[in-house]
């Protein structure tokens, strides 16, 4: 995290996208994936604390991949629920 802070320009954006360890379907998918055998899933709270300790400023988390459908209603629902920790993945955004 400190290296990301070091190389980011002033005002630059840092984004981390991670699997949500609290989503049971995500945990199942990671457990079944051969190349994720030794993966350690980090919760959004852990990532946010690590980024804050490096001196970056948070601009907000967003949870993604709530629904498997590519339809307008699904996108509306995802947008509405993106602040809730329900998705298969999450993204955190920070500025330098």
Domain ranges of the chain: 2-95
pTM: 0.70
pLDDT at 55 over 80: yes
- Cα-Cα-Cα-Cα torsion 72, 76, 78, 82, nearest 10 degrees, comes to 150
Task: Given CATH 3.40.50.720, say whether it is the number of domain 2-95.
Answer: no
Helix (H) or strand (E) holding 90: strand 89-95
| pLDDT digits 0-9 by tens, 1-32 | 888 888 989 889 888 888 889 888 888 989 99
User: Is 71 in contact with 50 (CB distance < 8 Å)?
Assistant: no
pLDDT at 65 over 70: no
């Amino acid at each position: 995290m400190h290296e990301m802070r070091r190389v980011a320009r002033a005002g630059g954006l840092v984004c981390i996208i991670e699997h949500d360890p609290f989503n049971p379907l995500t945990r199942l998918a990671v457990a079944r994936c051969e190349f994720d055998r030794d993966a350690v899933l980090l919760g959004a709270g852990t990532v946010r604390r690590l980024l804050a300790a490096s001196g970056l400023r948070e601009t907000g988390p967003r949870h993604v991949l709530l629904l498997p459908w590519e339809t307008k209603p699904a996108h509306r629902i995802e947008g509405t629920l993106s602040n809730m920790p329900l998705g298969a993945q999450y993204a955190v955004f920070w500025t330098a």
